[in-house]
Chains A and B, each alone.
Chain A
Amino acid sequence: MAVVETAAGPAPAVPAPAAPRPLGRLLRDRVGAAALAVVLLFLLLALAAPLIAALYGKNPAEHYGQNTPGLLSDGGLPVLPNGGISGDFWFGLEPGLGRDVLTQLLYGIRTSLLIAFASAAVTTTLGVLAGVAVGYLGGITDRLFGFLANVLLAFPTLLLLLALSPVVQSRLVDPGAAEPEWMQFLVLILVFSAFGWIPLALSLRATVRSLRERDFVQSARAQGAGRFHVVVHELLPNVRSQLLVHATMAVPTFVASEAVLSFLGVGITEPIPDWGRMISRGSEVFQADPTYMVFPGVALLLFVLAFNLLGDAVRDALDPRAGR
């Protein structure tokens, strides 16, 4: 029997493949889906770190190499080849202190992600508030903000982060007093947040400035909508995708910045596990024991790469016109 086409028939059972939702588009993109999987895996590993450590029977703090004879040589290097990889220590031992590399890596993800997510949340919030407000108000506020952003962006990021960390720390911690662990996290989040919101604010300012003149905003205003309504109900929904892309891209940036600062010795200090510091320690023994640096180095590369790929995929999924 022939299928009869009716003009006023119900919608076809199978939805048109032309316009899937952004998440569907993201998952259909093979690279994007793989990146998302890797990112989720890292998240899961971070959340489950204590559980995995318990099952595996090691913790990141204990100096196994020093407590158990025969694991480290007199020079502090693992006795077994490849950094002391064995059935007991899957990723080997840290030279010198003899801690377990696998658990250090797992707990290191927590350090990294905690700082990166908190900084991304703060900078995104600040960026939205400043960008939308300045773009909408325009006039003198806008010019002042433009100048301020120019001034702050003139400082090279890394130098500023490097120089600012001790200053912020000196404000928060009394000289001579021991610095609590959470304070180290707070200092880094503050330093990253102090300047990290500017790029987002700048790009939102430009978007809002052009949206402001569009008909739907004008008509809302003509109907008597107040500033608050215009900003929250008319402007914000239109910058949502820009926000999401920015937040995704911000996380790997902060992960990398945190690792750099710890590598240079002004970030997270012992005994909190941290990838940047592991690489720094690894660089000291690199010729004798390259394995120790390879694990955190490759983990960091994978992590940042996956997040960057995810950011690209999110952008493509949210804006199909942005061609590849």
Chain B
Amino acid sequence: MLSFALRRTLQALAVLVAVSAAAFALFYAAPADPARAACGPRCDNGQVAAVRQSMGLDQPLLTQYTDYLAGVVTGRDIGDVDGSVIHCDAPCLGYSYRLHQPVTEALVDHLPVTFSLAAGALAVLLVLGLGTGFVSALRHGGRTDRLLSGFTLVGASVQIYFLGYVAQWALVYSTGLLPLPSYTPPAEDLAAWAGGMLLPWLVLGFVNSAVFARLSRSQLLETMNEEYVRTARGKGLGRLRAHLKYTSRGAAGPLVQLLGLETGALLGGAVITETVFGLNGVGRFTAEAVSGQDLPAVVGAVLLAACFVVLFVALADLVVAWLDPRIRLS
């Protein structure tokens, strides 16, 4: 297990380095004029020249990249457009010339909202997805199964912004069943936090649960017919107990992997959900950075999101290896 964990960690690190190189190439080397893209539409030519100097765009591409990486590891000094020099602490993901703030700092400010949203949505996703999948598999082929499959398919097809507005209209404005979505720090008022986040949790969790429900249904169906499960049933173990004890463990691998991917993706920011419900998280920050043409903020947000994905996919792989010895020993 230890050697597997070590190998997997090294692999994740290699992917991370490559991810940073890819992001760098896409956003700092590809735009026609990165300095203008970084400075934003309101900068005059002098400010753009200052940004060009500060970003080191006159340096060779490789030097620019190694400087950027060094900034991530140790932090670095960056000159703002007005000539002042700001120290950007590690992990420095660049400096936003629009916000006059290191990108890392701005992202950290928006993380609590995104974390809250992701945690609740994941809980809804797990309960709904696993529940639907499990019941569908048990009632395979019956009316309940068809009904649930239809429900899931609608979840997979509905656009989150449409559902979000309709749900908000139905549950908040028309009936007042739920409070208007908003973020209150949980440390301040736990009830207000949960109440304000409930609708976003339900909507985001429901839409994301569709893929999970489909996968868990097919995984459970496949494992149910494995010989070891049939043996356990043949020896007299009750249906529910056999499935809970043997089937679910055998079926868990791909589900854990999907969950890892979903978690990583959600932590990177739920752009649409945050936009629809007016939650000021990382996703909305990124969308605003894109429309405000704030290149360093965009790159920082994309890199952070990619890091979450790599991290949670690797974690999921470790869990799967722990569950299934065939993987860690191969």
A150 interface contact, C-beta 8 A: yes
A159 to B298, CA, bound (A): 9
In the assembled complex, which residues on chain A have CB atoms less than 8 Å from the CB atom of B23?
Answer: 155
Within 8 A of B (CB), among A145-164: 147, 150-152, 154-156, 158-160, 162-164
Q: Which of A156, A166, A283, A300 contacts B268 (CB 8 A)?
A: A156
A300 to B30, CA, bound (A): 33
Per-residue interface assignment for chain A, residues 170 to 202, with 1 indicating a CB less than 8 Å from any chain B CB and 0 otherwise: 110001000000000000000000000000000
A191 to B74, CA, bound (A): 34
**How many residues of chain B get a CB closer than 8 Å to chain A's CBs?**
51
A-B contact count (CB 8 A): 128
Query: Contact at A159–B302, with CB atoms within 8 Å?
Result: yes
A163 to B162, CA, bound (A): 22
Query: Contact at B272–A297, with CB atoms within 8 Å?
Result: no
B26 interface contact, C-beta 8 A: yes
A24 interface contact, C-beta 8 A: no
Given contacts A152-B22, A266-B290, A301-B159, contact A159 B27 (CB under 8 A): no
Given contacts A300-B162, A301-B162, contact A264 B275 (CB under 8 A): yes
Query: Contact at A279–B159, with CB atoms within 8 Å?
Result: yes
Given contacts A266-B291, A287-B169, contact A151 B161 (CB under 8 A): no
Query: Contact at B161–A283, with CB atoms within 8 Å?
Result: yes
Segment from A118-126, A232-240, A302-310 that makes contact with B: A302-310
Within 8 A of B (CB), among A186-222: none
In the assembled complex, which residues on chain A have CB atoms less than 8 Å from the CB atom of B287?
Answer: 162, 264
Given contacts A147-B14, A156-B269, A264-B271, 4 further A-B contacts (CB under 8 A): A155-B305, A260-B272, A263-B161, A305-B154
Within 8 A of A (CB), among B135-162: 141, 153-154, 156-159, 161-162
A252 interface contact, C-beta 8 A: yes
B10 interface contact, C-beta 8 A: no
A residues near B (Cβ < 8 Å) are: 147, 150-152, 154-156, 158-160, 162-167, 170-171, 175, 252, 256, 259-260, 263-266, 279, 282-283, 286-287, 290, 293, 297, 300-301, 304-305, 308-309, 312, 323-324
B315 interface contact, C-beta 8 A: no
Query: Contact at B306–A155, with CB atoms within 8 Å?
Result: yes
A150 to B19, CA, bound (A): 9
A304 to B269, CA, bound (A): 24
12 of the cross-chain contacts (CB-CB < 8 Å) are: A155-B23, A156-B268, A156-B302, A163-B301, A167-B26, A175-B32, A263-B161, A265-B291, A266-B291, A283-B276, A297-B162, A301-B157
Query: Contact at B18–A163, with CB atoms within 8 Å?
Result: no
In the assembled complex, which residues on chain B have CB atoms less than 8 Å from the CB atom of A300?
Answer: 159, 162
In the assembled complex, which residues on chain B have CB atoms less than 8 Å from the CB atom of A309?
Answer: 153
Within the complex, what minimum Cβ distance (angstroms) separates B181 from chain A?
Answer: 14
Given contacts A260-B272, A263-B272, A283-B161, contact A175 B36 (CB under 8 A): yes
B293 interface contact, C-beta 8 A: yes
Query: Contact at B302–A166, with CB atoms within 8 Å?
Result: no
In the assembled complex, which residues on chain A have CB atoms less than 8 Å from the CB atom of B73?
Answer: none
Per-residue interface assignment for chain B, residues 16 to 42, with 1 indicating a CB less than 8 Å from any chain A CB and 0 otherwise: 001100110011001111001100000
Q: Nearest 7 A-B pairs (CB), nearest first?
A: A297-B162, A305-B157, A304-B157, A151-B18, A154-B306, A170-B32, A163-B298
Q: Which of B154, B162, B310 contacts A154 (CB 8 A)?
A: B310
Given contacts A152-B22, A164-B26, contact A159 B286 (CB under 8 A): yes
Query: Contact at A151–B153, with CB atoms within 8 Å?
Result: no
In the assembled complex, which residues on chain B have CB atoms less than 8 Å from the CB atom of A290?
Answer: 169
A202 to B290, CA, bound (A): 30
Given contacts A170-B33, A305-B154, A309-B153, contact A286 B302 (CB under 8 A): no
Query: Contact at A155–B302, with CB atoms within 8 Å?
Result: yes
Q: Which residue on chain B has the smallest CB distance to residue A300?
A: B159
In the assembled complex, which residues on chain A have CB atoms less than 8 Å from the CB atom of B159?
Answer: 256, 259-260, 279, 297, 300-301, 304
B309 interface contact, C-beta 8 A: yes
In the assembled complex, which residues on chain B have CB atoms less than 8 Å from the CB atom of A256?
Answer: 159
In the assembled complex, which residues on chain A have CB atoms less than 8 Å from the CB atom of B18?
Answer: 147, 151
In the assembled complex, which residues on chain B have CB atoms less than 8 Å from the CB atom of A312?
Answer: 153
A163 to B306, CA, bound (A): 13
Query: Contact at A166–B290, with CB atoms within 8 Å?
Result: yes
B92 interface contact, C-beta 8 A: no
Within the complex, what minimum Cβ distance (angstroms) separates A155 from chain B?
Answer: 5
Query: Contact at B162–A158, with CB atoms within 8 Å?
Result: no
In the assembled complex, which residues on chain A have CB atoms less than 8 Å from the CB atom of B265?
Answer: 156
Q: Which of A155, A159, A287, A308 contacts B269 (CB 8 A)?
A: A159
Q: Which residue on chain A has the smallest CB distance to residue B145?
A: A324
Within the complex, what minimum Cβ distance (angstroms) separates A42 from chain B?
Answer: 14
B166 interface contact, C-beta 8 A: yes
Query: Contact at A283–B290, with CB atoms within 8 Å?
Result: no
A223 to B164, CA, bound (A): 61
